[in-house]
Structure 1
Amino acid sequence: MAIGNTDELASLLGVCRELAAKDNIPELVELLTRLQCCLQDVNAHLATPPQSSEKRKDQTKMDSAMVDWIHAEIDRWGDQVPPVKMFILAGGGVTAAHLQLARSVCRRAERSVVPLVRAEEADPQAMKFLNRLSDLLFVLGRYATMKTGHEEVTYLNPNTFLDQKFDRKKL
């Protein structure tokens, strides 16, 4: 299940990359390509059974530098968007919406790796990478919203509109 989830995530990042190219956000295209490469390494690690040869396990060993790199990317891209003041709903253009969808898929992938880590069948670095990647995808969705000139849609407490007829202007 974990390999399928991380593979789905890598494929979805490919869709995001194509959408970013269409929206003329080349810096995002480059980063998404690198993230897909990282996910290939995560998949190779997850696909390596614990009883594999030491040589094979060394070839697919998780590198903590990937987690450090993701942390730095979160800071780098996060510095380019305004601080979060309210809950942000998925949307903000097609590219941003797909990046938020990728974030959700990434969360699922992370959850599917947890049992493997607990059973000592996967390196905790794989789980940490996916955890940090989901945070980065949130930031990248916000960045794509900004770069495409869309506005972020923020959460409204349902008590403020449940007794009203639908009027988008009020939302």
Structure 2
Amino acid sequence: MARARDEPVRLTRIYTRGGDAGQTSLGDGSRVSKLDLRLEAYGTVDELNAVLGVALVADPPAAIRGVLARVQNELFDLGADLSVPPSAGQRLRIEQPLVDRLEQDCDRFNAELPELKSFVLPGGTPAAAQLHVARTVCRRAERETLRAAQEHELGPLAAVYLNRLSDLLFVLARAANALAGCDEPLWKPGGTR
């Protein structure tokens, strides 16, 4: 049966054996090593998406849940962007409105938070702690995207999106604690003495 027009993908078999020799296909069909830096980048984007799934089951406040669910979908778009060389033509790409929306979310949630006068330690509620894990994975995905961009042409906004997303995840972690009425763990010089 043919795939419906609005059906993005149909997987009838999960394993193909095509990657057994250490090669895989990019989104344009070209074959590359599984050690290609683009795969490192979009593999870490996939890891980030999984970490956000864990953050969602950690029961963040409702105001944050919708943002995280939207971002999970956008990360699939980002993965598609990283897996298809720009020379392949019009494909799914990260565009400026997605970056703008991350900035708007950041501003909206940050407006309700107290001014920072110390570094924040990851922790507080389970949701906040998991959002801090997501933030660190996002930063790694950004670094890997920048490394891949030194060797391959990538969509121009892929790393920008990740940079802005890591900022948002930091703000959302703080917001998760604030909305739950949980004191934010703050750094104390010299530890706990």
Q: Which residue of 2 aligns with 1:10?
A: 49
Q: Secondary structure at the match of 1:38?
A: helix
Give me the whole-angstrom Cα distance separating, in 1, the residues matched to 2:109 and 2:158.
Answer: 22
Partner of 2:154: 122
User: 1:141/1:44 Cα in 2 relative to 1: closer, same or farther (>3 Å)?
Assistant: same
The RMSD of aligned alpha carbons is 1.6
The answer to whether the 8 Å contact 1:5/1:105 transfers is yes
Whole-Å separation in 2 of the counterparts to 1:159 and 1:87: 12
Rounded to whole Å, the distance in 2 between the matches of 1:75 and 1:64 is 17
How many percent identity over aligned positions? 38
Which has the higher mean CA deviation after the structures are superposed, 148-157 or 38-47? 148-157
Aligned position for 1:70: 102
Question: Which residue is equivalent to 1:47?
Answer: 83
In 2, Cα distance between equivalents of 1:85 and 1:143: 16
Could you say which residue in structure 1 is the equivalent of 2:132?
100
Contact conserved, 1:18 with 1:29, CA < 8 A, in 2?
A: no
Deviations 1:132-157 (A, max 9, x none): 10010000000000112211111111
Of 59-68 and 124-133, more deviation after overlay is shown by: 59-68
Kindly state the Cα deviation for residue 3 of structure 1 after the two structures are TM-superposed.
1.1
Structure-2 change in CA distance of 1:97 and 1:160 (3 Å): closer
1:72 CA drift (Å): 1.0
Higher mean Cα deviation, 90-99 or 43-52?
43-52
Distance, in Å, in 1 between the alignment partners of 2:81 and 2:191 is 47
Q: Which runs of 4+ in 1 moved over 6 A?
A: none
Q: 1:28 aligns with which of 55, 64, 67?
A: 64
**Preserved contact between residue 131 and residue 170 of structure 2 (Cα < 8 Å):** yes
Is 2:165 the partner of 1:141? no
Specify which structure has the higher proportion of helix.
Answer: 1
TM-score in terms of structure 2 length: 0.75
SS at match of 2:181: coil
For this pair of structures, how many residues does the alignment match? 154
